[in-house]
Chain A
């Protein structure tokens, strides 16, 4: 049904993003390969969102290079993203998912069943007929996840999916994320919540002021961080 080409590994080499005179990402070198969930952590304004957008191919680089599965300028086939504030199409929840399925090239005959499966996977089976914009914040994030999963991604980028959600809604999202990760989808998720990072991370990538500060397995990151910035961040000191 789909081209076997994967969007992984995702390779960034000295990737920089400048906007006017401001450096948003400063020479990031990073490889994202299949494996456990990667948490992208760092204070606000550290460049997490921009890095995810670059990785998705939505933001052009000012310098350096990026490739997906060895291809540069590859259109997003098997990668997907959810934004911190996802835009809901002015249709029902189910129609939002069907739209994403159609965009992903799923034949019409299969869309109905697939949409039901995806809604059920994110726990929205009872709300399929509801207008998407009437859903709560947590429900909208879960719908955005269902839309992203409609692309059958090899790699899924999540931009602070639980920011401004209550613990119950956060738990619901984290459960889905872990289930998706367990099925072999590579997940790169940004957060500034250390507790969440500890609960979910396989690897941790830490950004600070647009620079890559750490890129280590979670166990090491939390016990013996390599850099002073990471140590301070874990200790709960304010990184400024």
Chain B
């Protein structure tokens, strides 16, 4: 198993090219998750707490968007950002920013849909108490988001998992340019097709470890938080 040995070697010797790829992957996916949370959490809370015509249809569509195929998102963002597209003048195609945009589009519906469910369940429990305390609309939303914070961390993790694992969207809008837009998943796809299995396996191991590590951190935070706040 020469392949696995050299994969391990790459990781242990902290190959600079490898770490640049790891760093970019994390940067893109974490930024995308933060942006998607900034959009998805308020949107989900709004959907949970307001009643309007077409609300049910919106929820169904939002839930369906959780299964949005990454290549379709990639294609849509590609068309938006390409030279002749509506946002072509921004010159973002084949940059890390384009990858962040694509992953944000991919993750925001997941965060919004799950947030909607969590906030709505909590609202049923809190409704009477908050009404009795005469809590205004804005403060009500803040209270619900804050009190759902531990569940929402899990939602962010689901979003991060989705972003870190996908290759379809970022390979289309990023282009997998070495040293610039190459991430762990796009590199694995490339190296596998090139036949450089050691690098592909090394990246695979690192990707899995990073995902486990981030989940472990979030789990630890959640447990500690629950101990103090219930």
In the complex, whether A154 has a CB less than 8 A from a CB of chain B is no
In the complex, whether A13 has a CB less than 8 A from a CB of chain B is no
In the complex, whether B143 has a CB less than 8 A from a CB of chain A is yes
Complex interface: chain B residues within 8 A of A81 (CB): 132
CB-based contact B128/A83 at 8 Å: yes
In the complex, whether B230 has a CB less than 8 A from a CB of chain A is yes
In the complex, which of the residues B133, B150, B230 contacts A132, with contact meaning CB atoms closer than 8 Å?
B230
Question: How many whole Å from B126's CB to the nearest CB in chain A?
Answer: 5
CB-based contact A151/B229 at 8 Å: no
In this complex, what residue of B is CB-closest to A80?
A: B132
CB-based contact A86/B129 at 8 Å: yes
CB-based contact B229/A91 at 8 Å: yes
CB-based contact A58/B128 at 8 Å: yes
* Alpha-carbon distance between A11 and B137 when the two chains are bound, in angstroms: 28
Question: How many whole Å from B94's CB to the nearest CB in chain A?
Answer: 45
In the complex, whether B228 has a CB less than 8 A from a CB of chain A is yes
- Tell me the chain B residues, 194-220 only, with Cβ under 8 Å from chain A: none
Category for how many chain B residues contact A = 10 to 19
Category for how many chain A residues contact B = 20 to 34
In the complex, whether A112 has a CB less than 8 A from a CB of chain B is no
Q: Given that A87-B125, A87-B126 are known contacts, is A134 also in contact with B131, CB under 8 Å in the complex?
A: no
In the complex, whether A173 has a CB less than 8 A from a CB of chain B is no
In the complex, whether A198 has a CB less than 8 A from a CB of chain B is no
In the complex, whether A100 has a CB less than 8 A from a CB of chain B is yes
In the complex, which of the residues B126, B131, B133, B147 contacts A100, with contact meaning CB atoms closer than 8 Å?
B133
* Alpha-carbon distance between A131 and B126 when the two chains are bound, in angstroms: 16
> Residue-by-residue, is A94-138 near B (CB-CB < 8 Å gives 1, otherwise 0)?
010001100110000000000000000000000000111110000
CB-based contact B230/A131 at 8 Å: yes
CB-based contact A92/B125 at 8 Å: no
In the complex, whether A90 has a CB less than 8 A from a CB of chain B is yes
Question: How many whole Å from A98's CB to the nearest CB in chain B?
Answer: 12
In the complex, whether A76 has a CB less than 8 A from a CB of chain B is yes
Complex interface: chain B residues within 8 A of A77 (CB): 134
Question: How many whole Å from A88's CB to the nearest CB in chain B?
Answer: 8
In the complex, whether A75 has a CB less than 8 A from a CB of chain B is yes
In the complex, whether A239 has a CB less than 8 A from a CB of chain B is no
CB-based contact B126/A91 at 8 Å: no
In the complex, whether A89 has a CB less than 8 A from a CB of chain B is yes
CB-based contact A91/B230 at 8 Å: yes
CB-based contact A90/B229 at 8 Å: yes
Q: Given that A92-B228, A92-B229, A132-B230 are known contacts, is A87 also in contact with B129, CB under 8 Å in the complex?
A: yes
In the complex, whether B38 has a CB less than 8 A from a CB of chain A is no
CB-based contact B230/A90 at 8 Å: yes
Q: Given that A90-B229, A92-B228 are known contacts, is A151 also in contact with B133, CB under 8 Å in the complex?
A: yes
CB-based contact B229/A58 at 8 Å: no
Q: Given that A75-B134, A134-B230, A151-B133 are known contacts, is A89 also in contact with B128, CB under 8 Å in the complex?
A: no
In the complex, which of the residues A56, A87, A133, A147 contacts B230, with contact meaning CB atoms closer than 8 Å?
A133
Complex interface: chain B residues within 8 A of A99 (CB): 133, 143
In this complex, what residue of A is CB-closest to B126?
A: A87
In the complex, which of the residues A56, A90, A91 contacts B132, with contact meaning CB atoms closer than 8 Å?
A56
Q: A75-B134, A77-B134, A89-B143 are in contact. List 15 more A-B contacts (CB 8 A).
A: A53-B128, A56-B132, A58-B128, A58-B131, A76-B134, A80-B132, A81-B132, A87-B128, A87-B129, A89-B126, A92-B228, A92-B229, A92-B230, A133-B230, A147-B133
8 A-B contacts, Cβ less than 8 Å apart? Answer: A58-B128, A76-B133, A87-B129, A89-B143, A92-B228, A99-B133, A103-B133, A103-B139
Binding site for B on A (CB under 8 A): 53, 56, 58, 75-77, 80-81, 83, 86-92, 95, 99-100, 103-104, 130-134, 147-148, 151
Per CB-CB distance, the 8 closest pairs between chain A and chain B, nearest first, are A131-B230, A133-B230, A103-B133, A90-B147, A87-B129, A87-B125, A81-B132, A76-B134
